[in-house]
Amino acid sequence: MRSNFISDNAAAMAPEALEALVRANTGFAKSYGADEVTARAADEVRKRFDADAEVRFVFNGTAANAIALGMLARPFEAVLAYDEAHIRTDESGAPGLFGHGVGLIGLPGLSGKIDEAALEARLAEDEVGYRQPPAALSLTQATEYGAVYTVDELRRLIEPAKARGLKVHLDGARLANAAAAGFDLLEVPRLGVDVCVLGGAKAGGLCVEALVMFDHALAKRVDNRLKQSGQLASKARFLAAPLLGLLETGAWEGHAAHANLMAQRLAAAQPFPVTHPVEANMVFLAMDDAQLACVNAAGWSCYRFDDGSVRFVCSWQTTEGAVDELADALRAAA
Amino acid sequence: MRSNFISDNAAAMAPEALEALVRANTGFAKSYGADEVTARAADEVRKRFDADAEVRFVFNGTAANAIALGMLARPFEAVLAYDEAHIRTDESGAPGLFGHGVGLIGLPGLSGKIDEAALEARLAEDEVGYRQPPAALSLTQATEYGAVYTVDELRRLIEPAKARGLKVHLDGARLANAAAAGFDLLEVPRLGVDVCVLGGAKAGGLCVEALVMFDHALAKRVDNRLKQSGQLASKARFLAAPLLGLLETGAWEGHAAHANLMAQRLAAAQPFPVTHPVEANMVFLAMDDAQLACVNAAGWSCYRFDDGSVRFVCSWQTTEGAVDELADALRAAA
Amino acid sequence: MRSNFISDNAAAMAPEALEALVRANTGFAKSYGADEVTARAADEVRKRFDADAEVRFVFNGTAANAIALGMLARPFEAVLAYDEAHIRTDESGAPGLFGHGVGLIGLPGLSGKIDEAALEARLAEDEVGYRQPPAALSLTQATEYGAVYTVDELRRLIEPAKARGLKVHLDGARLANAAAAGFDLLEVPRLGVDVCVLGGAKAGGLCVEALVMFDHALAKRVDNRLKQSGQLASKARFLAAPLLGLLETGAWEGHAAHANLMAQRLAAAQPFPVTHPVEANMVFLAMDDAQLACVNAAGWSCYRFDDGSVRFVCSWQTTEGAVDELADALRAAA
Amino acid sequence: MRSNFISDNAAAMAPEALEALVRANTGFAKSYGADEVTARAADEVRKRFDADAEVRFVFNGTAANAIALGMLARPFEAVLAYDEAHIRTDESGAPGLFGHGVGLIGLPGLSGKIDEAALEARLAEDEVGYRQPPAALSLTQATEYGAVYTVDELRRLIEPAKARGLKVHLDGARLANAAAAGFDLLEVPRLGVDVCVLGGAKAGGLCVEALVMFDHALAKRVDNRLKQSGQLASKARFLAAPLLGLLETGAWEGHAAHANLMAQRLAAAQPFPVTHPVEANMVFLAMDDAQLACVNAAGWSCYRFDDGSVRFVCSWQTTEGAVDELADALRAAA
């Protein structure tokens, strides 16, 4: 079966990532992140936010997000997140491990965006000793359902949370797609985000995400934290290099723009009802089991998501030809 | 300062590793280890041991070893290990995190090898409810001090441990160097090792170690364990590929043999007392602070190890020329 | 405000508990559970189940249940429980701490009883590496909503779970009330429960619950587990004595029968709709905010539960007079 | 065998403790520490230190100390403690559980007192990312070897630690004995201790220790922390009452003075070399295996401690007669 659309992590490294990796492979270098490639990649990340942030590179979003939550909430506290946020559903309990039992409280909403009223209602609840009180708010941009929060929408969630003393985490596994969709990354620190995870893998890199700590106090002894968490790379230059390649060439945004465009093209060319706004690189379609089986039978690997829709994800590597082939198969299945 | 000898993780990827990585970078592939590159790498690992083991690839030894210990001992139990074993001294508490507070009991010995009598004495101690009883024995091959256990030495440690019901872990961050020094990997499962970590990074790979579970029961739901631990690679083919390149070409052993040879050359060409047997790729020298400062001043990055010796590590990338330059500097400092 | 009905833990120790405690307070005794009082209390517990179980006494249900779950599911696995089970809602994350991030998957049902079809549907789901798969089923008897499972109802939940290899935990904080309501404790081991928590505090004891392990393998090194968990009492005789007093006199069941009767009396004497079956010692009433305020204003401490009902709990110490007074207040508020 | 001298937790509750417990057993009371008995006990504790501290009561020192360490050091940080401090040797890993893998770094010294030079040397070490850096200093008063720190001795340890930004924990399982030996409790907050555990069980209480937080910031959401840790008592009045009884009558110090006196009497009346200063309620004697066997054969339960000495502990319940009987047995064994 063809894995083209099953996830953006089914794609290979983009050329800019691979080239930077190959370029980094010369001679000896200091390990554990003291090398020059890592320093340059961190600079590139800071440039995106125009902020004096502490930046570290880790192997994946599972660790990056779980470790971030462990910075923002203690084990007997909780994190507020969308009901079907990746950290709640798809990490096999990583936040619980790295957060030592930290609670994850789900909030409803549409297309991955937390409902403002639901957040405010939860924030207004009294604290009691026998329930983990919320200490942080976790947001995903672009959302797990391919929507992109506007700056105003984010502000209306972050402001009441910060007013209550909560810290804010932004899961940016697909932050490149959000940026390509017009979301201004400079707003991230301005909005009061404390820790942001900037995605590399889904953007065409190798296994890497940047952990961006705008609040320097959170970064105290972060290397010890990462080492204990199995996320301090010895040959760190190779972790940073592919992301550096994407960032310094602008391919990080460029490829994401292409992926977003392919999602638009797919959504437009196929017959099923689209169940979520196509604002980033994903298309969710309503189909029944027979139709899904038909698409699978045509050779396309895809599956039902938590909301019942069938998800298709585009990446830097998605071609117009593949989109058109898939659209044909979808039309045949409809 | 030149990082050539500070650690084997200061070296770049070996050509065989990089070539395999580049080769793996084509088209789409299943993620999370369901790809063909990962399958082939696992086969290569199994071939080394001629054993039907479960094999997974993780990002580093910190995680590989800590997760292995978490398989073998529960949080209220302990692991026996050499006093200065890497898991006890240099992981910023990773075994405690992944093992949820598991105890690490140190045992004395020479050059990283656990003393047999000390082990037997510890095994003979009565269990009490207020101390974590040993549930596993951890061994390192080659040791942190560059020595290589003989099969008989390992047997004399493993047999009494297994007779008491302990499980056995082998930290093989430098297993390639041990193999190149004549240690027969086929003995690993025969000796009763339950989980072995086969090193990739120090052998010329990228950030990768193989977690080899000879006891299949330990592998139950290991993917959930790895996912929760932030060690399940999404683009898994790129984690496996460099190690595959080393293993299928034999470069894994070949480069290690070269590194061992360079260590011999260095030991022979310099004037300081050698404090541990040079059986793998490391040379430990006795020198005073002025002499160490002199070596550093000559541009060589090196530092005192836990036993007070100064450590020099060779790798696949170490050249005869560099060894000779360093030996010159050492002679000048003596 | 009068705390009579706010919880069964607002009551004092029953006379039989206090007398046994006073009796135990003579001379020196072995600590950490090696004393004779502890041994006799464990025998009394085993007698209830007519089973050769391992029994330990801990300080509360929070610990007893969380530790039990940690025996039955590993950190990367999950426990199935009623949506509003106490372990999911009211322990401030204790299962996550003692289970190191173990997952808790909610299942729907009525009045605290898990819906059979919902359980079967969940058990039929495929395991995936990125979600914690269920390894145990947790049941509460009597339920958090005062209902009592019949043996057949339990069997229809336990059998499919065990058929899938899950272990079974029974939270018996109010097991005495269930027993007094006719539930035959001898069925607990026959049904295949692996670990049962037999409640002491709510039954008129001090802070104590019995951890009953029918599967002896689960009890391996349980004293180390309890010690690490801060649940191994030094002066253990005083932990066991009050429960011993209740059990050996039959007051454990007798007081529960009284509490159940008081709940029946309360339900019958008041005017609000009863929202859950009154099978144990609790009455849940539907009332609006003004009515609740009125009851509070009349001096009765009570509050809304998770389902929106207002809860009233009877205990060994509840008198007919108090029930009648409360019923008067409820009638006045209606 | 007679348990009189094996530990101070082999003694019963002192009369003042039991009487207070019986007195507290009337009517209904608010649970989880909101009752009046708990409030009064906390006041009595604060009075001892003349400090506006947050006070909570937990079930034992295992939990109290481990939770305190979890307040002062994060999982990837470490705590400095005496090599054979109880938290390092006798808690079956509790600090690792409640501290999620926090490190415990041992420091040498005599009779349980940390050596000043050793502390200063450790504090002077450079931090590195791969080793847990010290974030707290843990001291025990009276020490595990029955010595009592002077205020000056404590100051010379605490000052350099605080100067480096470390927090300070004081394990006071036998703080009553230290106080009875002349240690001024008012100095505890003045010295800069952040969290002190004031012992109840060994002082003649039930299973209870007071967790005293002089730094209020550490107490933020401490009830959630305790609830998650299984240390929030439902029937809290009974946890606090025995300690209240001891404190408000002065029996807490009075009984400790008696126990200390009995230790003096024992030390003076027996023939073996005393291996540690007898400043609190313990006597450590040097004897060989045959002599120890002889004492055991005479019916006295005692055992070798970590330093090889045989330990005898006196309590409120120790009589002159029992001391003299034991002294006879010791003379016979010599």
Partners of chain B (3+ Cβ pairs below 8 A)? A, C, D
**In the prediction, which pLDDT does D3 show?**
83
Report yes or no: A310 and A304 within 8 Å, Cβ to Cβ: yes
Question: Could you give the CA distance from residue C131 to residue C104 in angstroms, rounded to a whole number?
Answer: 11
CB atoms within 10 A of CB A291: 18
ipTM for the whole complex: 0.97
The yes-or-no verdict on residue B330 having pLDDT over 90 is yes
pLDDT tens track for A139-157? 999 999 999 999 999 999 9
**In the prediction, which pLDDT does C164 show?**
97
Q: Nearest CA to CA, how far is A78 from chain C (Å)?
A: 9
Neighbouring-strand partners of residue C82 = C107
B292 burial level (CB within 10 Å; 0-12, 13-18, 19+): middle
B129 burial level (CB within 10 Å; 0-12, 13-18, 19+): buried
**C77–B224 C-beta distance less than 8 A:** yes
Helices A320-333 and A251-269: crossing angle, nearest 10°? 30
> What is the number of alpha carbons within 13 Å of residue D102 lying toward its C-beta?
30
Q: Which residue of B has its CA nearest to A225?
A: B92
**Considering CB atoms only, which of D76, D91, D92 is closest to B93?**
D76
**C228–D92 C-beta distance less than 8 A:** yes
Mean pLDDT of C321-333: 97
Q: Nearest CA to CA, how far is B80 from chain D (Å)?
A: 14
**A97–C130 C-beta distance less than 8 A:** no
**D10–C31 C-beta distance less than 8 A:** yes
In the DSSP assignment, the letter for residue D275 is -
Across chain D, which distance is largest between two alpha carbons, in Å? 59
**A96–C96 C-beta distance less than 8 A:** yes
Q: Nearest CA to CA, how far is C76 from chain A (Å)?
A: 6
**Beta carbon pairs, C and D, within 8 Å:** 154
Instruction: Look at residues B169, B157, B6, B189 and name the one whose alpha carbon lies nearest to residue B95.
Output: B169
- Assigned token pair, C26: 């003579």
> If pLDDT is split at 50, 70 and 90, which confidence band does C254 have?
very high
Chain A hits for D77, CB-CB cut-off 8 Å, are: 221, 224
Chain D hits for C60, CB-CB cut-off 8 Å, are: 230, 232-234
- Assigned token pair, C261: 């009767």
Peptide bond into A142 cis (omega under 30): yes
Chain C hits for D21, CB-CB cut-off 8 Å, are: 21
**In the prediction, which pLDDT does A246 show?**
98
Interface test with B, best of C30, C76, C227, C231 (most B CBs within 10 A): C76
**In the prediction, which pLDDT does C132 show?**
97
Residue B70 region, left (φ>0) first, then alpha (ψ -120 to 50), else beta?
A: alpha
**In the prediction, which pLDDT does A79 show?**
98
Low-confidence stretches of chain D (pLDDT beneath 50) = none
Q: Which residue of A has its CA nearest to C133?
A: A92
Name all contacts of C182-188 with Cβ < 8 Å and 24+ positions apart: C182/C148, C183/C141, C183/C142, C183/C148, C183/C149, C183/C150, C183/C151, C184/C151, C185/C48, C185/C49, C186/C49, C186/C50, C187/C151, C187/C154, C188/C49, C188/C51, C188/C214
Chain C hits for D14, CB-CB cut-off 8 Å, are: none
- Percent of chain A at pLDDT above 90? 98
Question: Could you give the CA distance from residue A32 to residue D118 in angstroms, rounded to a whole number?
Answer: 30
D73 CA to centre of own chain: 20
**D97–B97 C-beta distance less than 8 A:** no
Angle at C111 (CA atoms; ends C105, C116), nearest 5 degrees: 55
The yes-or-no verdict on residue B108 having pLDDT over 90 is yes
**A76–D227 C-beta distance less than 8 A:** yes
The chain B residues in contact with chain C (CB within 8 A) are: 32, 74-77, 100-101, 127, 129-133, 221, 223-229, 232
pLDDT tens track for D108-160? 999 999 999 999 999 999 999 999 999 999 999 999 999 999 999 999 999 99
**In the prediction, which pLDDT does B283 show?**
98
CB atoms within 10 A of CB A126: 6
The yes-or-no verdict on residue C3 having pLDDT over 90 is no
**B95–D96 C-beta distance less than 8 A:** no
> If pLDDT is split at 50, 70 and 90, which confidence band does C93 have?
very high
In this prediction the pTM is 0.97
pLDDT tens track for D54-75? 999 999 999 999 999 999 999 9
Instruction: Look at residues A79, A51, A75, A323 and name the one whose alpha carbon lies nearest to residue A188.
Output: A51
Q: How many residues does chain D have?
A: 334
pLDDT tens track for B233-270? 999 999 999 999 999 999 999 999 999 999 999 999 99
**C75–B221 C-beta distance less than 8 A:** no
Chain B hits for A22, CB-CB cut-off 8 Å, are: 18, 22
The yes-or-no verdict on residue A223 having pLDDT over 90 is yes
Interface test with D, best of A38, A54, A76, A126 (most D CBs within 10 A): A76
**Considering CB atoms only, which of C92, C225, C231 is closest to D224?**
C92
**In the prediction, which pLDDT does C1 show?**
79
Q: Which of A189-193, B90-94, B271-275, C139-143 has the lowest mean pLDDT?
A: B90-94
**In the prediction, which pLDDT does A1 show?**
79
Interface test with A, best of B1, B37, B232, B234 (most A CBs within 10 A): B234
**In the prediction, which pLDDT does B3 show?**
83
Q: How many residues does chain A have?
A: 334
pLDDT tens track for A19-67? 999 999 999 999 999 999 999 999 999 999 999 999 999 999 999 999 9
**Considering CB atoms only, which of B90, B95, B100 is closest to D97?**
B100
The chain D residues in contact with chain B (CB within 8 A) are: 75-76, 78, 89-97, 99-103, 129-132
What is the amino acid identity at position C166?
A: L
